[in-house]
Structure 1
């Protein structure tokens, strides 16, 4: 899945869902705390957005993040395998593998970071948590300015309502899974 592919899915799904809810672009923008320009750019397939802001838009539209970013033709609504983030050089990525209903939603992600790559995340809404499992390499997780080193085979659970950062400070590729519950 290319970054262009996911933008097309978001564009089509966003327009359809916004119209189903009878919301103008401005109304949706106000409810999701983003600009109208952001909504217009997403609907035209020309704008990228943070995963956190995309999740806020999905929440306003009363759908899961996975439904917003997945192909409308997907046969199983809980299996996605959609690449949602890619570094500028293409060596690092995040892929939403699957999701399952929970109190609201649970998502399983695969993350790969090349040596020296970093992903900065905005704080998620209150009540969200993450469970990480490192498959290969060493993940440097920064939460509220405190670094945690997680080696292969390590797990870590935290409330993601603070800004956080994933970094691969090692020399080998990093592969980890991320489970998000909200």
Structure 2
């Protein structure tokens, strides 16, 4: 990991450990709730790994905080500004593409704003998000194929689409040039189950 990735991994680890402690969960309890291995939880909390977006989503949903809360500092005075170069890079493509979480809101109704650049020939497969999740994207340049539940949708520069994020979906570039697009994700009710479980104990 480079220095910025290491700092991000350590910040994520500290936040995961803090949130797990606030729920009174053991490492095994969080692993079970998130559907990941205990070893992965330990590695994340120690900042020893750069977890995938899927792993981060599993952890944030289990903890009930939403993905932005794991990777961004808390808002101050009702506003949160992310300066150029300070946003969390949560996806790195094999050919140099990047998925950057540039802004987000706190739970329970989480909204994430992403900036994606995918090089020609790159793809990203996303696990279905929690029920009710919606995604919106707008292609700024290049061409993108979005596959939702095995149906392909071809988008060019200036095209936009809205779709259910709680279904299997993936993205891949089309053509020989990089593709740049913005994406917003709306995930309602994050953490309600976790809070109810905490209150019930």
TM-score scaled by length of structure 1: 0.88
Given candidates 99, 103, 106, the residue that maps to 2:104 is 99
Alignment partners' CA distance in 1, 2:61 and 2:151: 30
Structure 2 alignment gaps of length 5 or more: 188-201
Q: 134-143 vs 36-45, which deviates more?
A: 36-45
Show the counterpart of 1:4. Answer: 6
| Aligned-residue CA RMSD (Å) | 2.1
**Total equivalences in the alignment:** 180
Q: Which among 40, 43, 47 is matched to residue 41 of structure 1?
A: 43
> Which of 149, 153, 161 lines up with 1:156 in the alignment?
161
Structure 1 counterpart of 2:21? 19
Aligned twin of 2:62: 60
1:169 alignment partner, one of 167, 170, 174: 174
Query: How do 1:80-159 residues align onto structure 2 when only pairs under 5 Å count?
Result: 80=82, 81-89=87-95, 91-100=96-105, 104-159=109-164
Deviation at residue 87 of structure 1 after TM alignment: 1.7
3-state secondary structure, aligned to 2:162: strand
Which has the larger displacement, 62-71 or 167-176? 62-71
